[in-house]
Amino acid sequence: MAKDDLYQELYTSFRWQVPEYFNIGWECCGRWAEDRARFALYYEDDAGAVEKYTYWDLQQQANRLSNALTALGVRRGDRVALVLPQCPQTIAAHIACYQMGAVAMPMSILFGPDALQYRLYNSAAAAILIDHAALGNLTPVRDNCPLLKHVIVVGESRDPAGRISNTLDYDELLAGHGRDFTPAKTRAEDPALLIYTSGTTGPPKGALKPHRVLIGNLSGFVASQNWFPKPADVFWSPADWAWTGGLMDALLPTLYFGQPIVANMAKTRERFDPLKAFALMDRYAVTNVFLFPTALKMMMKAVDKPREKYDLRLRAIMSAGESAGETVFHWAREKLGVTINEMCGQTEMNYVVGNSCEKWPAKPGSIGRPYPGHLVAVIDAQGNEVKPGTPGEMAVRRFDIHGDPDPVFFLGYWQNDEATRNKYTGDWCRTGDEAVMDEEGYFWYQGRADDMFKAAGYRIGPSEVENCLVKHMAVANCAVVPKPDADRGNVVKAYVVLIEGVAASDDLVQSLQNFVRGKLAPYEYPKEIEFVDALPMTTTGKVQRRVLRLAEEERHRKKLAATAP
């Protein structure tokens, strides 16, 4: 922890420098490729084989792909879908799109046919680069996307069964094109990236992001990674590069600073393995990581003394997605020797609030203060800032404290002006996250606005109860939701995943309930506990409380129907 609090000095003196012309492809690869020896990537494939790439290697691949896409008719502003895991081709595809002035549209390889079809059709994507393992999910919906002209397959086979017409093999395609490409001159405000984000209601919305958003992410990235880069820094995160977390919090900022990153294809296809994570960090002398709270909880339960078992070089851990909580915070400091820098952001305006323990003190359980360059507050329904200690919705203003435009903001939702307007109240862009700000400007995450609920008249924030439960030695992970109740409106219910070797029992239920009673308010303890093998998770590692909540509501409806006269 920092001896001195340098926050105010850093925050008030910071000024954005956004040039008129800016291209993510050049900034993240092209300028570094001029040094042919500059190392960029360790890549482990599914079989465990390791490949190494320089920035020159990646740039040559990107140039060939840019030439190939241009020859296929892809033009500036066209959307190019990328359904790829953590691998060199993913980096090359992003660089190729950006330097062409095309719009990269990353999607998870875990997406099923319906998810793929909606995004491809809605975006009018002109081409798709897809991992061979995900090709089967595209097959049944390919004909429903008439504007999708080209399917480029990365991996073992183009399409052995011939189920999709006009598929192209990635390696064969690139072999037919030269390695020299003249990048397009793009303005910082030009669109570069389209990421679809799912809300609680309605279909997914495509957040269109310009090249300048990378600049807007950098102050938070540098701070949360304890003033990245430093000599010998190596970055790793299991976060899928298809999402804002993996792309904007890990891959692109690391490449922007010309540092090496570790990619592990299997991590984006399999459930997170804490022992493999420790081994990987040991093997590549990883210094900087981004890990979701769920992953940290699994690591905490998996190894008692990680620094004795593994040669760890960690100097910074950033965590985001949900609150890591005090238990994980203290574990990391004690067992890993690193203070977790929690961060909060979202696709539309990412990396806006967080910690940087080298520059200002981190408070256990807090998601931190606004990063330099971002003006963040807690507001009420009318868009008015509320007093410290008052719950409300966290929001980010379009302009910083100096009145300069904040470059982190998205351009708007793709072909959805109404949703874009609804995202704002005046100059405030709402996050949908409930929070409280204390007198020192630290934010305390309360949960998603739609995850909050009332039980017996009391307002419940699920994350507080969850963070308490996970302190129990038997609990690996948990999720708290409301269960409808005729007398109290709702009661608090917890879904609990136990650590390996612990059996569910009535005695354990009572033990967990008493454990929470002794630490939180009496009305917050879970009146009901259900033990489950796993929780429903998003592909970005967040617990899907909404799935559990809807299941409880459906059970309640069926119960009422069964007892109706």
**In this structure, is residue 500 part of a structural domain?**
yes
**In this structure, is residue 213 part of a structural domain?**
no
Residue 108: domain span: 23-38+49-186
Task: Determine the Cα–Cα distance for residues 449 and 353; give it in Å rounded to an integer.
Answer: 17
| Domain edge (last residue) among 156, 186, 216 | 186
Full strand arrangement of the beta sheet holding 528-531? 475-485, 489-498, 528-531
* Residue 480, both tokens: 């708290």
Q: Report how far apart, in Å, the C-alpha atoms of 309 and of each of 287, 312, 334, 338 are.
A: 17, 9, 15, 16
DSSP structure class, residue 41: E
Residue 262, classed as helix, strand or coil, is strand
Q: What share of the chain is helix, strand, coil (3-state, %, to 5)?
A: 35, 25, 40
| Closest listed residue to residue 133, CA positions, set 196, 46, 44 | 46
pLDDT of amino acid 114: 83
pLDDT of amino acid 161: 52
**In this structure, is residue 521 part of a structural domain?**
yes
* Angle (CA) 33 35 36, round 5°: 80
* Angle (CA) 519 525 529, round 5°: 125
Backbone phi, psi, residue 166, to 5°: 60, 35
**In this structure, is residue 100 part of a structural domain?**
yes
Q: Measured in whole angstroms, how far is the alpha carbon of residue 122 from the centre of its chain?
A: 22
pLDDT of amino acid 61: 98
DSSP assignment of 189-213, as one string?
A: TSEEEEEEE--SSSS-EEEEEETTH
**In this structure, is residue 499 part of a structural domain?**
yes
pLDDT of amino acid 436: 94
Backbone phi, psi, residue 440, to 5°: -95, 5
pLDDT of amino acid 451: 76
**In this structure, is residue 379 part of a structural domain?**
no
The enclosing domain of 548 has a CATH number of 3.30.300.30
Task: Determine the Cα–Cα distance for residues 526 and 524; give it in Å rounded to an integer.
Answer: 6
Orientation angle between helical segments 506-517 and 462-469, nearest 10 degrees = 120
pLDDT of amino acid 144: 93
> Residue 172: how many CB atoms within 10 A of its CB?
12
For 386, left (φ over 0), alpha (ψ -120 to 50), or beta? beta
State yes or no: cis peptide before 160, omega within 30 of 0: no
- Contact in structure between 296 and 318 (CB atoms under 8 Å): no
- For the chain (565 residues), the mean pLDDT of every run of 10, in chain order, is 79 97 98 96 89 98 98 98 97 98 94 88 97 92 93 78 76 96 97 83 84 98 98 95 94 98 73 91 97 89 95 96 84 97 93 96 93 97 94 96 97 96 94 92 83 73 85 93 83 95 95 89 88 84 85 88 76
Rg over CA atoms, the chain: 24
The enclosing domain of 161 has a CATH number of 3.40.50.980
DSSP assignment of 30-63, as one string?
A: IHHHTSTT-EEEEEE-TT--EEEEEHHHHHHHHH
| Domain edge (last residue) among 153, 171, 186 | 186
| Closest listed residue to residue 318, CA positions, set 354, 290, 297 | 290
* Residue 285, both tokens: 């002398």
Task: Determine the Cα–Cα distance for residues 151 and 130; give it in Å rounded to an integer.
Answer: 7
* Structural domains counted in the chain: 2
**In this structure, is residue 336 part of a structural domain?**
no
Task: Determine the Cα–Cα distance for residues 262 and 284; give it in Å rounded to an integer.
Answer: 8
**In this structure, is residue 181 part of a structural domain?**
yes
Q: Measured in whole angstroms, how far is the alpha carbon of residue 401 from the centre of its chain?
A: 27
| Closest listed residue to residue 219, CA positions, set 399, 483, 15, 46 | 15
Give the H or E element holding residue 114.
helix 113-123
Q: Indicate whether this model's pTM tops 0.75.
A: yes
pLDDT of amino acid 2: 46
pLDDT of amino acid 452: 73
Backbone phi, psi, residue 178, to 5°: -75, 165
| Closest listed residue to residue 184, CA positions, set 23, 410, 319 | 23
